[in-house]
Structure 1
Amino acid sequence: MVDELIPRAPADPAAPDSAEPDPDDAVRGLERPAVPWPVRAWRRAVRRPQAWLDRPWPAERIVRFVITVALLGGSTFAALQVVHPDLVLTNNTPTGGDMGAHVMGPAYLRDHLLPNWQLSGWNNYWYAGFPMYRFYMVTPAIAIVLLNVLLPYGIAFKIVAVAGIVTLPLCCWAFGRLARFRYPLPELFALGGLLFLFDETFSIYGGNVKSTMAGEFAFSIALSLGMLGLGLFARAMETGRHRSLAAVVLALSCLSHGIVLIFVALGTILLWIVWMDRRRFTYGLSIGITTFLLAAFWVVPFLFNHEFMTDMKYGYRPSGASDSFWDMFFPLPTFFDIVITTFAIIGFVASLWRRHLNGAWMGITSIALVTLVYLTRDSLPVIGLLWNPRLLPFLYLLRYLLMMVGFVETALLVARGVKGVRELPEGTLLRVGTSVAVVVGVSVLVIQLMFFRVMPGARFTTHNGESVYSWGIGDWRPISLTGNSTDALSDAWSRYNFTGYEDKNAYGEYKALVDTMAGLGADPAHGCGRALWENNSENGKYGTTMALMLLPHWTDGCIASMEGLFFEASGTTPYHFVTAAAMSASSSNPVRQLRYDNNDAAKGVQYLQALAVDYVMVFTEAAKAQADAQPELRLIRESGPWNVYEVAGTELVEPLSVQPVVVADREGDQRERHLELGMSWFQHQDEWAALPADDGPDSWQRIEVVVDELRRQDDRVDVVVPATPIEPVALDPVTVSDVQLGDQDIRFRVDQVGVPVLVRMSYFPNWQVEGAEGPYRVAPNLMVVVPTDTEVHLSFERSGLDITAYGLTFAGIAMLFVWRRRGDAEFPSDRPRFGAAPAGDGGGDADTFVDGAEDRDGDDPVLVEAWRRPLEDPTTPMTESDLDLALDALTRQDGNPPPDRDDGTGRL
């Protein structure tokens, strides 16, 4: 649709400012002064708020405004309070769970990737190297880096970490407004978002406060963006407007977390189907394609490189006799589960009855999520990597929102029954809606105050010998929680995280250890290198068990940590944890189905040497005793309870003495096949006469491998052995010198070409080499090159896949300009009718057909229309037209309001 210029009013000839320019001005070199752009920007910014304030304020509008401020503002304030804004603005280093290790990521992006014009690249800090932000989401990290321009790093990090929590009530409210839910449902949706945030039945699935404090802050950001994006998509499918904005917000959600991407993709497809007719089919498809293209720079490499990731083999739920799908879908106390589910079902049925498409979509999507949780028990097809409970948060959130619909519907039904009418007047609708909002708001407030043990007038008492937290007057205590009820942890967890590393009792010990390792790196007798530290839950005294993952962060990369946070992002992860188990007294062993050699340093030394680990740090007496008994480990430092050992016989680049052999491909999951091969060699090196490789020159021997049936176990990774006898080929001795390790490259010299050289850096297909053939992937997950020159240079470069993916993203950006130029779409009706003829084609009134306003088969038209009465009326705090105009301001160059679209019906 083409923008129209609004004709200027006739100028007043008596007004000197409006007079035509004097032709002599040009001769005199005079020009009319232009309005400065800051002034123009300010006028545009205040135009609509001023118009909103200038509108009449009848009693109905004041009531709705007060309710909106109370529920939306109160929900946002409660979410803000639980994350302790005073601590968020304290300049320290956040800790706690995964969050304490996430600190490294944005800083590495700021210092190493962005200066090279990269959003993803190689990182030597963890797992003997891994591709940073290729499989984990970069968008939240970019936000932290941008804030860090103005704020200290720790504060910038914490602000972004809590952004998803604080904005979820607002985004749920915006979803309700954009999806055409009547007052007070958008306001109640904000409360639904708050209930979800404070739901403490899960702590690692994502979305709520506990999961966010555990480190899933990218998930909560993506969820808020996802709800906003789905609302924009719903509005776009109704009105034909905001196509580009919907695509951008949906893409940002997908780029913020991969699990939320699944929800957004599922929700968008189902919403598209629900709204589909002939014209909306192509319109919705255009939004989906644009969204995919915008996110392609991250999504495409993820999809095509996933075989180089690690599958943690998390067991699905339900697991064990004490677990069930019932427990998964209904995790709250029975009373709350009954209330929430009952009213959610009422809300879904009412949405279907009223043909409210977006309300029906919430119910349909909930059913789809239940189905998906069941179907993904064995993870995602082809890709894998999904733990099926990670889909539950979306079900929980939609159920809270549908519950709010059920509350309002039940109240309206009761009101009609009391008054004995089939249609309630507008004033009664307002009173009923306001009453529901007040009752639900107070109920949520009381429940949360009780759960957080901060209810005014409540206290702990003893009843029948049991501690009880109760509220009431005198001996009358109608509200109580038994002492067995767990205090809400959201508040305490955020306080723990945001007091930072620096506030923990063991911070002095932690800092001394970090300084010791930094000193080792600076000592020419030892130097920089990789460190493996004992894996033990007691490390949590430093703020998180992952605190030592920040060794490279504190030492500017000099001392790398073998263990890192992004477990799935490196194919070397399983080999590290097998090594950590061998060097630790009580390791966590997070990768399932591996054959761990717990507290066996004799085997651990072989693993350390295979991964080129320079230093080992242990603190338990059992681990120290094991380390002291190994001649290859030399004690060089002590710091507090920690012993630091130097590992002998570790070289980053080393010539091979025997030519590798190429193992033929086997059928099945190639990620699993390589894990079997790599782990078989890693843990049984004496059984292999040569190093197995995935590929290599034609001169290398080709062999087959088979599973060793004698060592086969159902719950363990298979051991494979050569089925073809290996014919060892001895290689000439070669000297490697001048090894230089950069951020994303390795250089070295050899005194003889043609002899394979082992590079103990994690393999990834983006590695390229000059002066050699290869690199070839070898066990466990390292590289071999065959020098063709005495100077060899390996570098991590953009692949053809990366360039293609970025090209798709640039195409998506170009499509935004195309949609802007084309303008908005025109639909014959604001409700879909598949195959409906365009207006004027004699196809009948599609709006009447879908809305059900015409009484067919005895249906009550009021039941259908009451839900969908236009929200644009003089009593709403912010009309839908205001919301659309505000959205248009984000996508229009001139900042002017769009042409009047009001057709006299009140619809947009």
Structure 2
Amino acid sequence: MISFLKLNVKTKVLEKLIEVKVLSLVSAFSVFLSCFFVLWVINPDGVLFKLSTPTGGDLGAHVWGPAFLRDELLPNLRLSGWAPDWYAGFPAYHFYMVVPMLFIVVLNVGLVLPLLILTIGLVSFVVFKLVTQKPKHWRSAFFFAVCLLLLIIPFHYGLAFKLVAAVGLILMPFAGWKMGRLAGLPEPTPALLGASTLAFIFDRSFNIMGGNLMSTMAGEFAFTLAIAFCLVYIGLLIKGVETGEKRAAAALFLALTGLCHLLVVFFALIVSFVALSTRISRASVRWVAEVGLLSGLVSAFWVIPFWWYRSHLNDMGWEKLTSYSSYLWSRDHLAADFLTNDPPLQLAIVLAAVGAVLSLIFRRRLGVVLSISVVVLALAFIYLPEG
């Protein structure tokens, strides 16, 4: 009888393990499909990998920047400086995020021989060891090793620019999935989070506010990169305030969020405040403070000069939008005739409300924190004054 019970318990445990493994594989495959779908859409006839110059909207103006950084600023050990172009000249990368442009430069330049051969050999050996021995966190190490391998190979300038401009869109489903995994959500919820980013990517209600496909193709690719980094940071945040882990990783992703786009880091900071408010303790306050301090130190090389010379900033001419019901519900007064409420915002809000209720019922902190953050942002949109 005892042997039968032990066998029954072992069988149930094995079945549970198989179920979890299958769900994890299905989840990972769905994320791959989401990322591949984005790549397929933005790469008609293979244009993404052709040796051509990207353009469209403000994107054409950005093509100049990384080349100036590569040829003029970096050889003089500078990340910003005065550019003689654009009529009377202007301060290059004093007031615009330089890190996305550095990604392009690194991808474009790569390493010169013989360092290239030695580095490729070393990285290939590391990848082989990771795959064969599979130490702890080997998948993450494998991913970064492959990224390093791509970075050390020189790419055509136009190709490098297009890849960096597109990678935020392609990896956004992965970032959403990773956020759910880090936050401890059960499968298949992380996969659903990853797939849900597709609705945002292909949102046709705005074309220059940043993050979606149209905004990215119009030049806002730094914004899209920041969103991808921000999603991972939020997952690390939820995990960190509960366990006290991942300080360095959270600080890095928070810094990358701000260094790619300042507007997105404001959202990250709001979420951080809400996450801390919903779980106040000495440990969580310390975790958030340490992450904030470390991320500030990492990003100080660009943020401090930006703040110090802020009096030289020009007026962007932004005006406060007052069509509150349109932007927060109906979308019946959009910025241009070709913009449309697709996918319907009302459906997204209803689904978000259902998710908020389920998060409360099942005590899923990520859903609660994001729900409160959205309400805070909506109130800020309505009540913050212009300027």
**TM-score of the two chains, using structure 1 as the length reference:** 0.34
Are 1:369 and 2:328 an aligned pair?
no
1:127: Cα distance to partner? 4.5
What is the 5 A alignment of 1:751-790?
Answer: none
Gaps of 5+ in 1: 1-54, 319-323, 380-908
Are 1:139 and 2:138 an aligned pair?
no
1:174-213 CA deviation, whole Å, 9 max, x = no partner?
0001011111110000111111101111101100000000
Are 1:187 and 2:191 an aligned pair?
yes
1:347: Cα distance to partner? 1.5
Q: Name 1:172's counterpart in structure 2.
A: 176
Aligned residue type for 2:368 = A
Which of 204, 207, 213 is equivalent to 1:203?
207
Q: Name 1:237's counterpart in structure 2.
A: 241
1:738-778 CA deviation, whole Å, 9 max, x = no partner?
xxxxxxxxxxxxxxxxxxxxxxxxxxxxxxxxxxxxxxxxx
Q: For residues 127 and 314 of structure 1, do their structure 2 counterparts lie closer, same or farther at Cα, with a shift above 3 Å needed? A: farther
C-alpha distance in 2 between matches for 1:92 and 1:252: 28
Q: Name 1:289's counterpart in structure 2.
A: 293
Which of 143, 158, 162 is equivalent to 2:162?
158
What is the 5 A alignment of 1:400-419?
Answer: none
Aligned residue type for 2:325 = W
C-alpha distance in 2 between matches for 1:151 and 1:338: 43
C-alpha distance in 1 between matches for 2:254 and 2:77: 24
Q: Name 2:61's counterpart in structure 1.
A: 101
Aligned residue type for 1:348 = A
1:519-573 CA deviation, whole Å, 9 max, x = no partner?
xxxxxxxxxxxxxxxxxxxxxxxxxxxxxxxxxxxxxxxxxxxxxxxxxxxxxxx
Kept in 2: contact 1:317–1:377 (CA 8 A): no
1:57: Cα distance to partner? 9.5
Higher helix share: 2
Q: Name 2:220's counterpart in structure 1.
A: 216
Q: Secondary structure at the match of 1:202?
A: coil
Q: For residues 191 and 377 of structure 1, do their structure 2 counterparts lie closer, same or farther at Cα, with a shift above 3 Å needed? A: farther
Structure 1, 346-355 or 149-158: larger mean CA deviation: 346-355
Aligned residue type for 1:350 = L
Aligned residue type for 1:84 = N
Q: For residues 177 and 105 of structure 1, do their structure 2 counterparts lie closer, same or farther at Cα, with a shift above 3 Å needed? A: same
C-alpha distance in 1 between matches for 2:310 and 2:372: 31
Q: Name 2:75's counterpart in structure 1.
A: 115
C-alpha distance in 2 between matches for 1:112 and 1:237: 43
**TM-score of the two chains, using structure 2 as the length reference:** 0.78
1:303: Cα distance to partner? 2.2
Q: Name 2:328's counterpart in structure 1.
A: 329
Aligned residue type for 2:303 = V
> Percent of aligned positions with the same letter in both sequences?
38
Q: Secondary structure at the match of 2:309?
A: helix
Are 1:310 and 2:314 an aligned pair?
yes
Kept in 2: contact 1:123–1:131 (CA 8 A): yes
C-alpha distance in 2 between matches for 1:136 and 1:238: 35
C-alpha distance in 2 between matches for 1:57 and 1:72: 23
1:66: Cα distance to partner? 4.7
1:402-455 CA deviation, whole Å, 9 max, x = no partner?
xxxxxxxxxxxxxxxxxxxxxxxxxxxxxxxxxxxxxxxxxxxxxxxxxxxxxx
Aligned residue type for 1:278 = R
Kept in 1: contact 2:58–2:219 (CA 8 A): yes
Aligned residue type for 1:103 = V
Are 1:125 and 2:85 an aligned pair?
yes
Kept in 2: contact 1:206–1:212 (CA 8 A): yes
Aligned residue type for 1:168 = M
Are 1:79 and 2:38 an aligned pair?
yes
Kept in 1: contact 2:204–2:343 (CA 8 A): no
1:333: Cα distance to partner? 4.7
Q: Name 1:60's counterpart in structure 2.
A: 19
Q: Secondary structure at the match of 2:91?
A: strand
C-alpha distance in 2 between matches for 1:354 and 1:58: 22
1:59: Cα distance to partner? 4.7
Q: Secondary structure at the match of 1:131?
A: strand
C-alpha distance in 1 between matches for 2:226 and 2:317: 25
1:284-338 CA deviation, whole Å, 9 max, x = no partner?
21111111221122222222322211113222212xxxxx211111236599334
Q: Name 2:347's counterpart in structure 1.
A: 339
C-alpha distance in 1 between matches for 2:169 and 2:177: 14
Q: Secondary structure at the match of 2:82?
A: strand
Aligned residue type for 2:381 = V
4+ long deviations beyond 4 Å: 55-59, 332-335
Q: Name 1:8's counterpart in structure 2.
A: none
Q: For residues 334 and 204 of structure 1, do their structure 2 counterparts lie closer, same or farther at Cα, with a shift above 3 Å needed? A: closer
Aligned residue type for 1:117 = L
Q: Name 2:150's counterpart in structure 1.
A: none
C-alpha distance in 1 between matches for 2:283 and 2:263: 31
Q: Tell me the C-alpha RMSD between the 2 structures.
A: 2.0
Q: For residues 377 and 203 of structure 1, do their structure 2 counterparts lie closer, same or farther at Cα, with a shift above 3 Å needed? A: farther
1:352: Cα distance to partner? 2.7
Larger radius of gyration between Structure 1 and Structure 2: 1
1:822-847 CA deviation, whole Å, 9 max, x = no partner?
xxxxxxxxxxxxxxxxxxxxxxxxxx
C-alpha distance in 1 between matches for 2:368 and 2:355: 9
Aligned residue type for 2:171 = T
Count of residue pairs brought into register by the alignment: 320
Aligned residue type for 1:68 = S
